[in-house]
Amino acid sequence: MSVEKIYTIPVNEAYESDVECPLCSLKKKVENDYLEYYLGPSLMEPDTRVITNKTGFCPEHMGKLNLKETNRLGLGLMLHTHLKDYKDELTPLLNNAAPGKATLLKGRNSDYKAKLNAIADKIDARTKSCPICEKVNYTMDRYSEVVMHLFAKDPAFKDKFTSHHHCLPHVAVLLRTAAGKLSQNEAADFLPLLAKTNEEGFKALIDDVEWFTLKFDYRNTDKPWGTAKNSIQRSMRFLSEDRSEFDEQKSK
């Protein structure tokens, strides 16, 4: 099976499924696979531990690893060696961060300010670094390229594409990928369809959110909700990708 075929199958399946944004569906699956990977046997592999010791995980994925509750021991082992690696790097920097006090002979010296900013930048960089983010972003970049390939080469895919509204962050992804992967003629076909589905997505949500707010008027209490009842969560997904904190059940 070719690499192209491996990537084409999940993209086609996502666009054939009943989801609002197929790329959100793909991203959720990819992210979950990597969460399971880092809590599985890989966490005891030396190469993996070298990476996780140095990078740790971003706050969002650290929280998701914690919520998995499938391997608390493994998560503890990773955190233990990551904390030690972090301490070994940061402690000497902090211990040597304080400037000497100004005296009549030495006067003032602001060089220490650059040193403090450099240490702060290092902390920020390590806090934001995350192997799961890197792998998910890489895979999603490949999936968006497959979308362009299918759109350009598979006439049947166009119907699948136009049956969905994409969230705005993934509209941006598609625009950037189209700029890099589509010819001018292919882009001339692709962009009107993307614009059409995006406008339809906006209109449906605007109408539903308006009706959601009007339902708070006592005169509309007994009128049917239609598709407006979960319009708040759908709007948040449209604006910000599909996230677990937007789940309707949790919102109740």
Confidence band (pLDDT; 50, 70, 90) for 227? very high
Confidence band (pLDDT; 50, 70, 90) for 153? very high
Residue 163 domain flag? yes
User: What is the SS3 string spanning 149-206?
Assistant: HHHHHCHHHHHHHHCCCCCHHHHHHHHHHHHHHCCHHHHHHHHHHHHHHHHHHHHHHH
**What residues make up the domain containing 229?**
3-97+111-246
Residue 86 domain flag? yes
The pTM for the full model equals: 0.84
Residue 157 domain flag? yes
Half-sphere exposure of 224 (CA within 13 A, CB side): 2
Q: pLDDT digits over 110-144, tens only?
A: 788 999 999 999 999 999 999 999 999 999 999 99
Average pLDDT, the chain: 90
Residue 252 domain flag? no
Left, alpha or beta for 241 (phi > 0: left; psi -120 to 50: alpha)?
Answer: left
Residue 134 domain flag? yes
Residue 102 domain flag? no
What is the distance between the alpha carbons of residues 126 and 128, in angstroms, rounded to a whole number?
5
Residue 106 domain flag? no
Residue 202 domain flag? yes
Q: pLDDT digits over 4-38, tens only?
A: 577 789 999 999 999 989 999 999 999 999 999 99
Confidence band (pLDDT; 50, 70, 90) for 250? very low
Confidence band (pLDDT; 50, 70, 90) for 44? confident
Q: pLDDT digits over 158-187, tens only?
A: 999 999 999 999 999 999 999 999 999 999
**Total domains in the fold of the chain:** 1
* 245 pLDDT above the threshold of 70: no
Confidence band (pLDDT; 50, 70, 90) for 248? low
Q: pLDDT digits over 48-89, tens only?
A: 999 999 999 999 999 999 988 788 888 999 999 999 999 999
